[in-house]
Structure 1
Amino acid sequence: MVDETLARDIDAVCRLTGEFTLRSGQVADTYFDKYLFEAQPALLDRVAAQMLDLLPEDTELLGGLELGGVPIATMVSAKTGLPALFVRKKAKEYGTCKLAEGPDVAGRRVTLVEDVITTGGAVRDATRELRAAGAIVEVVVCAIDRSPAGDNPLADVGLEVRPVLTRAQLDAAAAQA
């Protein structure tokens, strides 16, 4: 069930219009600047609270993707008691040389936590790397899924996307404002 108040508040805080090049290389006229809601503790808390029911029951670790997924995963971790894992875009080239900072992932069920998904490129990369390290990765929860309605951009890697809000829900909230 959509929290329409949350949709309106997120939309009001982070919708930007103009011309934006996305990570995927696509050019968009609307951009959702997740850092604008992640920087507000009360709003970040509300997003994290909505994620709780989206988590698979067998989740063992929460994998927050660098950079925007990290504060959300941390907040969800605090609410659930599940350990957080911080997943880099690429493994460190010094020290431990790890891609994922935190507990060992081998044989464990990791639910990825992301801020905004359009094509899922960063999530796809992280999924492949974590699976190569022995993790079981089947679900990603995200604050905003801006991919086309009914389209799972991560189907090619067998990943289920569970969003708090979709682009369509944010557009509906903007239309009511």
Structure 2
Amino acid sequence: MERAQLAAEIYNTAHLTGEFKLRSGKTSDQYFDKYLFESDPTLLAAIAEQLAPLIPDGTEVLAGLEMGGVPVATALSLRTGIPVVFVRKKAKEYGTCKLAEGINVAGKRVCVIEDVVTTGGQILLSVEDLRQYGAQVESVISVIEREEAGRSNLENAGLQFRSLYRMEQLLPL
């Protein structure tokens, strides 16, 4: 699927109209439901195909952030053959008590995968957590860059940030 067509398909699938309460507490007549494009196998495969070239050379592990980054990272892993870990917002309190589920990230070059970046706050927290486990994290890839603040915050923290689309690039067919 071509890039412009994929952008339109993502928009047409995930853009909703109605009455929605936002995280900020405000009400909006429009909403972008990222899980609608992440749960569509055709769109997710096309997204992985377009994202794969953005992965930095030498990446040894993809880190999908809970929850939206997990399906994107999984699709990228299937596309590229690069192993994936699933990163929780906090370590589970039972069983293995792990923060990053999957292969060991110690000493490995890890690229963080996220679906939508707004401020980058959770990414920065997860990067620090991964580094405490010995991961070498220098890059972040997302499907959609919602706000410029996210890019600024990530780059100011020394991370290379690449996104497939900025929010304003997602338009209907």
Q: Same fold (TM over 0.5)?
A: yes
In the alignment, the residues of structure 1 paired with residue 61 and residue 91 of structure 2 have an alpha-carbon distance, to the nearest angstrom, of: 19
Aligned CA RMSD, in angstroms, stands at 2.1
In the alignment, the residues of structure 1 paired with residue 150 and residue 159 of structure 2 have an alpha-carbon distance, to the nearest angstrom, of: 14
In the alignment, the residues of structure 2 paired with residue 20 and residue 158 of structure 1 have an alpha-carbon distance, to the nearest angstrom, of: 34
Deviation at 1:159, TM superposition (A): 1.6
Aligned residue for 1:21? 22
- Unaligned 5+ runs, structure 2: none
1:126 corresponds to 2:126 = yes
SS at structure 2 position matched to 1:44: helix
Question: Structure 1: which amino acid aligns with 2:157?
Answer: V
Aligned residue for 1:169? 169
Cα deviation digits, residues 85-108 of structure 1 (max 9, x gap): 010111011111110001111111
Aligned residue for 2:81? 81
Which stretches of structure 1, 4 residues or longer, exceed 3 Å deviation after superposition? 17-20, 25-31
SS at structure 1 position matched to 2:148: coil
CA contact (8 A) 1:20 1:31 kept: no
CA contact (8 A) 2:130 2:137 kept: yes
- Unaligned 5+ runs, structure 1: none
Give runs of aligned pairs for residues 1-177 of structure 1, distance below 5 A: 3-17=3-17, 18-22=19-23, 25=24, 29=28, 30-148=30-148, 151-170=151-170, 173-174=171-172, 177=173
Deviation at 1:149, TM superposition (A): 8.3
In the alignment, the residues of structure 2 paired with residue 150 and residue 123 of structure 1 have an alpha-carbon distance, to the nearest angstrom, of: 9
In the alignment, the residues of structure 1 paired with residue 128 and residue 154 of structure 2 have an alpha-carbon distance, to the nearest angstrom, of: 11
Deviation at 1:63, TM superposition (A): 0.3
In the alignment, the residues of structure 1 paired with residue 139 and residue 89 of structure 2 have an alpha-carbon distance, to the nearest angstrom, of: 18
In the alignment, the residues of structure 1 paired with residue 96 and residue 84 of structure 2 have an alpha-carbon distance, to the nearest angstrom, of: 18
Question: Structure 2: which amino acid aligns with 1:157?
Answer: A
SS at structure 1 position matched to 2:153: coil
CA 1:151/1:81 → structure 2, altered by over 3 Å: closer, same or farther?
closer
CA contact (8 A) 1:68 1:114 kept: yes
In the alignment, the residues of structure 1 paired with residue 25 and residue 127 of structure 2 have an alpha-carbon distance, to the nearest angstrom, of: 22
In the alignment, the residues of structure 2 paired with residue 150 and residue 142 of structure 1 have an alpha-carbon distance, to the nearest angstrom, of: 11
Deviation at 1:42, TM superposition (A): 0.3
Deviation at 1:12, TM superposition (A): 0.8
Question: Structure 1: which amino acid aligns with 2:32?
Answer: F
Q: Under a length normalisation based on structure 1, what TM-score does the superposition of the two structures give?
A: 0.87
Question: Structure 1: which amino acid aligns with 2:78?
Answer: A
